[in-house]
Structure 1
Amino acid sequence: MNLLDTVLDRSVVLGYSKIGYALRRRTSSWPQDPAPGALAGKDVVVTGASSGLGIATADGLARLGARVHLVVRNLEKGEKARGELRRAVPSATFELWQCDVSDLDDVRRFAAEIGAAVPAISAIVHNAGAMPPERTESRQGHEMTMAIHVLGPLLMTELLLDQLSAGDGRVVMVTSGGMYTQSLPVSDPEYTQSSYKPATAYARSKRTQVSLLPVLADRWRSRGVSVYATHPGWADTPGVVDSLPGFHKVTGPILRDVAQGADTTVWLAAVDPHPPGGGLWHDRRVRPDHYLPTTRESDDERQSIWSWARQAAQLPR
Structure 2
Amino acid sequence: MTPRNDKSAQQQWTAARIPDQRGRVCVVTGASSGLGLATTRALARRGAHVILAVRDEEKGRRVAAGITAEQPDARLEVCRLDLADLDSVRAFSDRLHADRPHLDVLVNNAGVMAPPRTLSAQGYELQFACNHLGHFALTGLLLDLLTASGADSRVVTVSSVNHRNRKARIDFDDLHGARTYSAMGAYNQSKLANAVFGHSLHQRLTRTGSAVRSVLAHPGYAATNLQLNGPVGLWRVVFGRIGNPLLAQSPERGALPQLYAATAPDVSGGDFIGPDGMAELRGGPTRVELAPAASDAETGRRLWEISERLTDVRFPFTPSRAVPTA
User: Into which bin does the TM-score normalised by the smaller protein fall?
Assistant: 0.7 to 0.9
Q: What SS does the aligned partner of 1:212 have?
A: helix
Identity %: 30
Alignment-mate amino acid for residue 287 of structure 1: V
Unaligned runs of 5+ in 1: 7-23
Partner of 1:21: none
Which residue, 206, 227, 236 being the options, matches 2:214?
227
- The Cα shift of 1:308 comes to 0.9
CA–CA separation in structure 1 for the residues paired with 2:189 and 2:130: 12
Q: Any idea what SS the aligned residue of 1:160 has?
A: helix
Of the three residues 201, 207, 229, the one matched with 2:192 is 207
Counterpart position of 1:174 = 158
8 Å CA contact 1:38–1:64 kept in 2: the answer is yes
SS for the counterpart of 2:255 is helix
Q: Tell whether the 8 Å contact from 1:48 to 1:127 is kept in structure 2 after alignment.
A: yes
CA distance in 2, matches of 1:296, 1:164: 24
How many Å apart are 1:264 and its aligned residue? 1.4
Could you report, residue by residue, the CA deviation over 1:235-254 in whole angstroms, capped at 9, with x for unpaired residues?
Answer: 11112222333223322133
Distance apart, 1:296 and its partner CA: 6.9
- Going from structure 1 to structure 2, the CA distance change for 1:55 and 1:223 (only over 3 Å counts) comes to same
Matched residue, 2:269:
277
Q: Is the Cα contact below 8 Å between 1:235 and 1:258 reproduced in 2?
A: yes
Please give the root-mean-square deviation of Cα atoms over the aligned residues, in Å: 2.3
Report what 1:287 is aligned to: 288
Among candidates 151, 157, 172, match of residue 186 of structure 1:
172
TM-aligned CA distance change 1:186 to 1:287, over 3 Å: farther
Change in Cα spacing, 1:56 to 1:297, as seen in structure 2 (3 Å) is closer
**2:56 is aligned with 1:74:** yes
Q: What SS class does the counterpart of residue 83 from structure 2 fall into?
A: coil
Partner residue of 2:202?
217
Instruction: Give the conservation status (yes or no) of the 8 Å contact 2:219–2:255.
Output: yes
How far does the alpha carbon of each residue in 1:280-305 deviate from its partner, in whole angstroms, 9 at most, with x for none? 22033221222xx8x57742233122
Is 1:63 the counterpart of 2:45? The answer is yes
Aligned partners of 1:186 and 1:297: how far apart in 2?
Answer: 16
Say if 2:130 is the partner of 1:160.
Answer: no
What is the distance in 1 between the residues matched to 2:271 and 2:124? 26
Of the candidates 42, 47, 67, which is equivalent to residue 85 of structure 1? 67
Q: Distance in 1 between matches of 2:70 and 2:116?
A: 36
Aligned positions, number = 289
In structure 1, C-alpha distance between the alignment counterparts of 2:294 and 2:44, rounded to whole Å: 38
Residues 28/125 of structure 1: CA separation in 2 closer, same or farther (3 Å cut): closer
TM-score, reference length from structure 1: 0.84
Secondary structure of 1:91's match? coil
Q: What TM-score do the two structures reach when normalised by structure 2?
A: 0.82
Contact 1:183 1:297 in 2 (8 A): no
